[in-house]
Structure formats: C-alpha cells, structure tokens
Amino acid sequence: MSLKVDEIIGVVSSVLDETQKKRGTLIHAFQEIQKEQNYLPEEELVKLSKELDIPMSDVYSTATFYKQFYFTPRGRKIVKVCTGTACHVRGASKVMDALKNEFNVGDGETTEDLAMTLESVGCIGCCGLAPVATINEGIIGEIDSPKLSKMIEDIKED
Amino acid sequence: MASKNNTDIKSLVIRVCVGTGGLAAGSQEVIDEFTKLLKKKGVRAEVLKKCVNKTGCRGFCAKDVLADVIVDGISHTYQLLTAENVARIVEEHIVGGEPVEQWLVGPEYHAFHDKQTKILLHECGHIDPEDINAYTEIGGYNGARKALTMKPENIIAQIKDSGLRGRGGAGFPTGLKWEFCRNADSDQKYIICNADEGDPGAFMDRSIIEGNPHSVIEGMIISGYAIGASFGYIYIRAEYPLAIERLKIALSEARSNGFLGKGIFNSDFDFELKIKEGAGAFICGEETALIASIEGKRGMPRSKPPFPAHKGLLGKPTVINNVETLATLPSIMTKGAKWFSSIGTEKSKGTKVFALTGKIKNTGLIEVPMGISLKEIIYDIGGGMEKKNRTLKAVQTGGPSGGCIPAANIDMPVDYESLAAAGSMMGSGGMVVMDDLTCMVDMSKFFLTFTANESCGKCVPCRVGTKRMLEILTRITEGKGKSSDIDLLLELGKDIKLASLCGLGQSAPNPVLSTLHYFRDEYEAHINEGICPAGVCKSLRRYTVSDEACKMCGKCKTVCPSDAVTWEKKQKAVISKEKCIKCGACYEACPFNAIL
C-alpha cells in the first residue's frame, strides 16, 4: 500500500513539514485499511510504520486509543445495540441480553463462523425511536419482542 | 371528488423527512411508494422529478415518517406515515383534492412548534440539504459575503455585541475567543468546527449538519476570515455517515460556486475546508484532545494554558467552535447583533437547540429562546409525560457532564447561569426527561459508566477516581452499599472535580453530586433499607400487589413471562416470589400503580 500523503491532507500540505504530514495521515490510513480489510491486521500496521517512519509502538498506541479500530476479524453482520440514555431508559439491556443468549456471544465478540459481531454502542442519535439497534447500515427502532424476533431472523439470514 | 383530474395540478411538491429518525421509521419506502404511484397515475414527468424532495430533520421524530404534500402551494402535513398509507393519499388528496384528515398532524404538532423560536432549525426540514441553490435562494451565504466586505475587527466587535456564547457546553463568549486568536501573532491560523457530538442523548449537531450543512460552512468562512485563518477542519464523528455525506456534497458545491478556494466571493481571501472523521473517542470533543487527534496522535488532552487560541493545531493559533455556534453566525451577520441580543436573557443570548428525549410524549429536536422555563419545554412543547399515570421526577441536562433538575424546580429559566447554579449545566443540549420509574442511583451509575469508559487515562483523578466512584455506585445498586458510601462519594466527587486535567474529569462527578443533592433519600433507601424506590435496581426488587390499589384487571398476568402471577376474574392478583424473575413487566403494565 502506498500512501498519497498530499492527496489525503489536501491544500493544507503546503504549510506542513514532512513529519507533520505523515503524522496527520496516520488515523486516516487506519480508517482506509479497516475499510478494506474489516480490521487492522498486524502486518499492515508494520508496513504503515515503515512507510510513515513512525515507530510501531507509537502506531499501535495510537490505533488502540480509538474505539473504532479492531485488531481481530469482524463478523459479516455487525449488530450494534444502542445503550445511550434514552435507549437505556427504554430497555436496551433486554435487547442486548436476548441477542447475547441467542448467538452465544458477549459484548464486542464475534461468532465463530464470522456471521455476526455484537456490540453495544453509545447514542446513535435517534433517541425518539428508542430502543434502537443497527444491523450493518440498517436501523431498527422501537424494538419490542416481535421486532426482536424479526431481527434475530434477519441476522441469521445470510 | 373524482371530477378533478391530474392535469388540474400545476405544481406538486412532496417533502418527506429523511433525517436519521425518518429513515429508521421507513421514509425511503414512503418516497419510493409516492414515486411509483404518481408515475402510475400519470402525473406529468416534470412534476414528478421535483415531487419528492429530500429534506432534513424537522425535529419531531416521535411522529416520523412526516411528509408535506403541497398541491398548488397549499401544504398539508401527514404524520406517522408508512408505505401502505401512500396509495390513499395519492388517490384522495392528490388526485381527488381531499386531504386524508385522519392522518394529518394534530394539535400536538402545532403545539410542538408554536413555543419554539427557530433560527438555526428554521430551514432544517424545508430546504434540500443536498442543493446549494436551495440555501442561496433563501439568502444563504449573504452573511459570509457581507463579512468579507468588513474589517475583521468589526466582525469580532459585532459578535461580541451580540452576546453569543459557545454552544458546546461551557458557554465561553465566542467573540472574545476570536479576539484572543486574532491578536495572536502567527503566519498561520486555523479554524476548527467541533462536530464530535458524543453526549449520549444528544443529536443537535447531527441534525443541523444533515438539515442545513451550508449554514455550518458559511459560519466557518465568517469565523475564519475574522480570526485570519485560511484553513479549517470539520472534525466529525464517524458514527454520523449521513451527515458526513451531506457535508461532502456541500463542500464540493461551495467550492464550485467559488465560496471556497482561492479568492472566495471574488475577494482576496483564500479559504479551504477539510473533513476529518473522528475514530470513536468521546474525549476528542475536548479542544486539546481534538487537536491531538487531528494531528494523528492519541486523542489526549493537555493542560491549559497555553490555550488553543494561542497555541493550537500544530502549535498555531486555533479557534474551535461548536456546530451550533457556527451555524448561528450567518444570521447574526445579516440581521445584526442587536436583533440577536434581543432574544434571550441578560447573560444568555439567542436560542439554544435541545434534543428532548426520555419519558416525554413529544421527543425530538427543539429550538427555544434562552430563558424559557423548563416547565414550558416539558408541558407545552413536549406535551407532558409519555404515560399519563406517571409523574415528572427530574430533567437531566448536560449529559454525562451535567446534572439533574428536580421536578420542584422546573419553573427555573434555562440559561447558562441558572443551570450551573442548580448543579447542572447547559452542556451541548441533551435534555432527558425522567419519570418516577427512573432510579437516580441507576442513572448516576449509567453516566459514570460512560465517563469511566471514556476517560483517556492520562490523569489519575479521572482515571482512578471515576472507576472508584463507579464501584461504589454499583455496590449501592446491588444492595451492598455501606453507610459511609455517601460521604465517600461526596469527597471523591469533590476531589475529582478539583484535580482533573480536563473538562471530562472536572465534570464527570456532576451527575452523582447533583442527584445526591436532590435525591439523597433515594441513595439512603438503597443503602439503609435495601429498597430501590423506583423499582429499577434488579437486585433490590421485590414485587407485590397492593390489595387497595388492585382493580383486578389481570393485565399483570398477561404480560408476565415466567407465569408468576396468579389471577382469576374478579380476584386480586398475587405474585409468586419463587417464580418471579424480577423483569418488571407487570410493574410497567399495571394501569393503577398497584404493583409495588
């Protein structure tokens, strides 16, 4: 992978020195790798460390700081259950528990066949529809037990 | 009225709400159905192209999907639409000329809007956020155009005169912040838009960007010019894909119109903007952490001073303004400081956007003048409690950094000073309404879990302190609290506030301290009597039926998942202690509050 540093940071590059430029692209590079590979494989991070001339310890330290990045492969369906204030009040934990039991995974875990990853997330910004969950890009609001059963079916469908 | 046919309609506009709330409620299906049926009905093609206009959030998410059907300029608004409703609207309203009364918005919709003062949200839901012309047609970018003809010092003076204070939470005067940065000597300065909206329960910034992204860009041009910055960043959380998408469209449209780039608006001012996606860290909403993150480092705050206005991004003077603050600027430029300062209270000017959520009837996004009372917000705009048989207990403002205002104080005006005096804060604008079924200890635990998780770990008071407070709260909710725990929480809370490095730690104890102040009896009930008065804390639950209050309706038996309720017609219900799994379904279902 070769990084087009100037392209990523745009016009700002004219006022930055080389070190600043490289450093500034680091998080963007993580995002690009993860978009392609679904997670941050170690060998990619090693390559990135050499390319940007940033020590591996520093690369790893930065990547682990942010919740967005993963270091193990992820499921094909990412199920996020909102546990923000409004959802919490309207029973998000019931949704979470039901999914944990059904798929035998914990929060943040992926099923062995990589079919799904279950995660609790902070507010996703549609509290009016609490409790809310997402399966990949799709949003499911006002989850009651019929909707929950439907959700479980949807997740199982490949 | 079958006599009226399609050709009589000269113009037809259908506006369907496609904010995140609308999309979740199925607005795309509604749009597709309208498009399909209108084609079938043979409504002329040139009308059809314009007929489905995507609009941003209008703030009344509880009634999604909302849609305006505008026939020859006469608008009717429908609520709670699904794709199945569309056929009848097309048949009776568009073709027949008779709106479908039963699906039209009711008095609630109007009550929801009447007490609001919409400056920022005025265009949200009415203009197409993906079309720059929709914004310029209503006077968009005139504020920036005007600003570029003025001296930067005069712009700063005008913003100072307007009394605008930062909408991100702390309420620092915007004009003053700019002046610090303007006066700092440097070859390069930066303006950053903080769109890292992370408070649970808050979605103001997202809705503004989704509904009217150009207002934010225009605000950044104005502030960039005023402080002398030719580059700007919009730091937005990656969890808002729709907002990011619309910003990208808006940026490229602004660029091709000559509003961004070299010599914008035919002046000699160069201005360029770039989007930086956050990577999921609440702490990055803090100014210095946000800067570290843009620089590609771990998003950890540093001590201040030096303030970012002197040494910010890459060591250069930087102003960081919140989305709402920036989106307010264009109207201050065009309508003047006097107009703006005529709204609000003595020290808090203008309007504030809140995300009204929780156990309230009308949840959604609202914009109100500063100084309005909480009571007006809850009962007039919010329509009162979600369930009629429940009473208001408290209102939480300011999210994990704020606190609770008890029901007894709801006549209080909403402004920076009053909220702070009550032990809460304005915060970014989350407003969660709680009823008597909300346990204040559980609520504090919830917020502390959030802050303890999000603490970056740099300073000890925050890293260790929030963790210890959380442990104490957890044991109280599990019925293992000690009598010394309240004093310990107070002491820890005070120390964390005093000794933490940044705003996260300095405000993290607020939810605990404010509930301890107003609802100390609830903590004591948990610790001393082993009771959770709201019936929330699982370990402390013991459900019984009150003989006096039970009206023998049997609802509790219907909802019980573990068959623990014994009930026959004309008999009072009994709950078996052995079979009860303490899920609380009966408690919530009982219309007479007979389950204790």
Q: How far is A94 from chain B (nearest CA, A)?
A: 9
- Other residues' Cβ atoms within 10 Å of the Cβ of residue B510: 25
Would residue A12 count as lying in a domain? yes
Question: pTM for the whole thing?
Answer: 0.81
Higher pLDDT pick, A20 / B414: B414
| B248, B176: one domain | yes
| A83, A138: one domain | yes
| B275, B370: one domain | no
Query: Which of the listed residues B290, B323, B341 is the one where a domain comes to its end?
Result: B341
Compute the distance between CA of residue B60 and CA of residue B102 in angstroms, rounded to an integer: 18
Summarised one tens digit per residue, pLDDT across range B379-397 is: 999 989 988 889 999 999 9
Q: Among B87-91, B145-149, B537-541, which is the least confidently predicted range? A: B537-541
Going by the DSSP 8-state scheme, the letter that residue B385 receives in this structure is: B
Query: Which of the listed residues A65, A93, A112 is the one where a domain comes to its end?
Result: A65
CA-to-CA dists, residue B551 to B77, B157, B587, angstroms:
41, 67, 14
Query: Which of the listed residues A24, A39, A65 is the one where a domain comes to its end?
Result: A65
CB-CB under 8 Å, B277 with A130: no
Would residue A70 count as lying in a domain? no
| B563, B586: one domain | yes
User: What does residue B548 show for φ and ψ, rounded to 5 degrees?
Assistant: -70, -40
Three-class SS of residue A147? helix
Summarised one tens digit per residue, pLDDT across range B344-370 is: 999 999 999 999 988 888 888 899 999
CB-CB under 8 Å, A65 with B296: no
| Exposure letters B23-53 (e unless 16+ CB within 10 A, then b) | bbbbbebbbebbbebbeeeebeeeebeebbb
DSSP assignment of B530-557, as one string? ---TTS--GGG----B-TTT-----HHH
User: How many domains would you assign to chain B?
Assistant: 5
Write out the H or E segment, with its range, that includes residue B433: strand B430-435
For residue B570, what pLDDT is reported?
A: 87
In a mutational test of the B interface, the residue from A33, A124, A126, A129 whose CB has the highest number of chain B CBs within 10 Å is A126
| A23, A51: one domain | yes
Query: Which of the listed residues A41, A65, A89 is the one where a domain comes to its end?
Result: A65
| B562, B576: one domain | yes
User: How many domains would you assign to chain A?
Assistant: 2
The complex's ipTM works out to 0.76
Would residue B271 count as lying in a domain? yes
| A35, A89: one domain | no
Would residue B311 count as lying in a domain? yes
Which one of A10, A88, A127 has the shortest CB-CB distance to B203?
A: A127
| A29, A97: one domain | no
CB-CB under 8 Å, A123 with B202: yes
Question: A50 CB contacts (<8 Å, ≥6 apart)?
Answer: none
Would residue B121 count as lying in a domain? no
| A82, A142: one domain | yes
| B423, B522: one domain | no
| A112, A41: one domain | no
Q: Judge whether residue B8 has pLDDT over 80.
A: no
| A34, A55: one domain | yes
Query: Which of the listed residues B508, B529, B550 is the one where a domain comes to its end?
Result: B529
For residue A84, what pLDDT is reported?
A: 76
Q: Which of B285, B284, B288 is nearest to B310 (CA)?
A: B288
Compute the distance between CA of residue A13 and CA of residue A25 in angstroms, rounded to an integer: 11
Edge-to-edge strand order for the sheet containing B74-78?
A: B52-55, B12-17, B67-71, B74-78
Would residue B400 count as lying in a domain? yes
For residue B50, what pLDDT is reported?
A: 37
CB B452 within 8 A of CB B467: yes
The CATH number given to whatever domain includes residue A142 is: 3.40.30.10
Residues of A with CB below 8 A from B399's CB?
85
**Structure tokens given for B36:** 């399909």
The CATH number given to whatever domain includes residue B244 is: 3.40.50.11540
| B157, B267: one domain | yes
CB-CB under 8 Å, A20 with B203: no
| A83, A152: one domain | yes
Q: How far is A120 from chain B (nearest CA, A)?
A: 12
Question: CB pairs below 8 Å between A and B: how many?
Answer: 128
Which one of A61, A68, A88 has the shortest CB-CB distance to B279?
A: A68
| A127, A101: one domain | yes
For residue B579, what pLDDT is reported?
A: 79
pLDDT band, very low/low/confident/very high, at B49 (cuts 50, 70, 90)? very low
| B444, B511: one domain | yes
| A82, A148: one domain | yes
For residue B583, what pLDDT is reported?
A: 64
Would residue A72 count as lying in a domain? no
Query: Which of the listed residues B396, B418, B435 is the one where a domain comes to its end?
Result: B435
Compute the distance between CA of residue A44 and CA of residue A30 in angstroms, rounded to an integer: 9
The CATH number given to whatever domain includes residue B513 is: 1.20.1440.230
Would residue B5 count as lying in a domain? no
* CA end-to-end span of chain B: 56
| B56, B191: one domain | no
Residues of A with CB below 8 A from B20's CB?
124-126, 139
Task: Give mean pLDDT, residues B292-299.
Answer: 95
| B553, B515: one domain | no
Summarised one tens digit per residue, pLDDT across range B424-467 is: 998 888 899 999 989 999 999 989 999 999 999 999 999 999 99
Summarised one tens digit per residue, pLDDT across range B550-575 is: 989 988 888 776 778 899 888 889 99
Q: Quote the domain boundaries for residue A89.
A: 77-156
Higher pLDDT pick, A125 / B62: B62
CB-CB under 8 Å, A137 with B20: no
Determine the residue of chain B that is closest to A138 in CA distance. B24
Would residue B115 count as lying in a domain? no
For residue B59, what pLDDT is reported?
A: 61
The CATH number given to whatever domain includes residue B78 is: 3.40.30.10
| B428, B453: one domain | no
Summarised one tens digit per residue, pLDDT across range B167-218 is: 987 899 999 999 999 999 999 999 999 999 988 778 899 999 999 999 999 9
Would residue B472 count as lying in a domain? yes
CB-CB under 8 Å, A61 with B359: no
Compute the distance between CA of residue B190 and CA of residue B450 in angstroms, rounded to an integer: 31
For residue B543, what pLDDT is reported?
A: 83
CB B400 within 8 A of CB B199: yes
Summarised one tens digit per residue, pLDDT across range A10-59 is: 666 666 677 888 898 999 999 999 989 889 999 999 999 999 999 999 99
Q: Judge whether residue B71 has pLDDT over 90.
A: no
Rama region for B73: left / alpha / beta (φ>0; ψ in -120 to 50; rest): left
Q: Judge whether residue B51 has pLDDT over 70.
A: no
| B70, B211: one domain | no
CB B86 within 8 A of CB B45: no
Task: Give mean pLDDT, residues B487-509.
Answer: 96
Q: Quote the domain boundaries for residue B593.
A: 542-596
Compute the distance between CA of residue A148 and CA of residue B353 in angstroms, rounded to an integer: 33
| B255, B302: one domain | yes
CB-CB under 8 Å, A65 with B456: yes
In a mutational test of the B interface, the residue from A89, A101, A143 whose CB has the highest number of chain B CBs within 10 Å is A89
